[in-house]
Amino acid sequence: MSKLESLPANPYNAHSWVVGEPVIGEGVWIGAFCVIDGSGGLTIGAGCNISSGAQLVTHSSARRTITERSYNAVDRAPVVLGDHCFVGSNATILMGSTIGHHSIVAAGAVVTEGSTFEPYSMIAGVPAVRKGDVRWRPEP
């Protein structure tokens, strides 16, 4: 059995991993090689596009690891991605984060744990910060 055949089936992309029970809105597109981790609670709004290689992560085992398991739990916190958001290739959104509707998370950005961004944000960098506004105006 190839590695691709061992990924759990999902209705979004046969080459992406969807775990847990994320709430995914209508008209969402998910590219290949994404990790969509709903184990800690994940809501993806309607009309979002998630580019190849992006990761939406709702858990962390870091504290359990560095305490040699004296802290014997996996931390979890929900991620919320508002309606009509775009997540660029290889962007990572970590647990406890909220991205407002109509926002862009740039390719390669790392949205750190517990971050909150208002609607229409352009989010970029490592760590990710708000770079401006993305309100589009129709061309004349």
- Whether the pTM exceeds 0.85: the reply is yes
Range of the domain at 56: 22-129
Q: Tell whether 93 is covered by a domain.
A: yes
What is the model's pLDDT at position 64? 95
Q: Tell whether 7 is covered by a domain.
A: no
Q: Tell whether 134 is covered by a domain.
A: no
What CATH number is attached to the domain comprising 77?
2.160.10.10
Angle at 32 between CA 31 and CA 36, to 5 degrees: 75
Q: Tell whether 4 is covered by a domain.
A: no
Q: How far apart are CA 13 and CA 18, in angstroms?
A: 9
pLDDT in tens, 1-32: 455 556 677 888 889 999 999 999 999 999 99
pLDDT in tens, 79-134: 999 999 999 999 999 999 999 999 999 999 999 999 999 999 999 999 999 998 88
**Contacts (Cβ under 8 Å, ≥6 apart) of 134:** 102, 103, 104, 120, 121, 122
Give the CA count within 13 Å in the CB-facing half-sphere of 65: 3
Q: Tell whether 51 is covered by a domain.
A: yes
The alpha helices in the chain, defined as continuous H runs, are 62-66
Query: How many structural domains is the chain composed of?
Result: 1
Neighbouring C-beta atoms of residue 54, cutoff 10 Å: 25
Displacement of CA 56 from its chain's centroid (Å): 3
What is the model's pLDDT at position 3? 53
Q: Tell whether 71 is covered by a domain.
A: yes
What is the model's pLDDT at position 1? 45
Q: Tell whether 136 is covered by a domain.
A: no
What is the model's pLDDT at position 138? 65
Please write down the long-range contacts of 72-79, taking CB distance under 8 Å and 24 or more positions apart. 76/39, 76/40, 76/41, 77/40, 77/41, 77/113, 77/114, 78/40, 78/41, 78/42, 78/43, 79/40, 79/41, 79/42, 79/43
Q: Tell whether 57 is covered by a domain.
A: yes
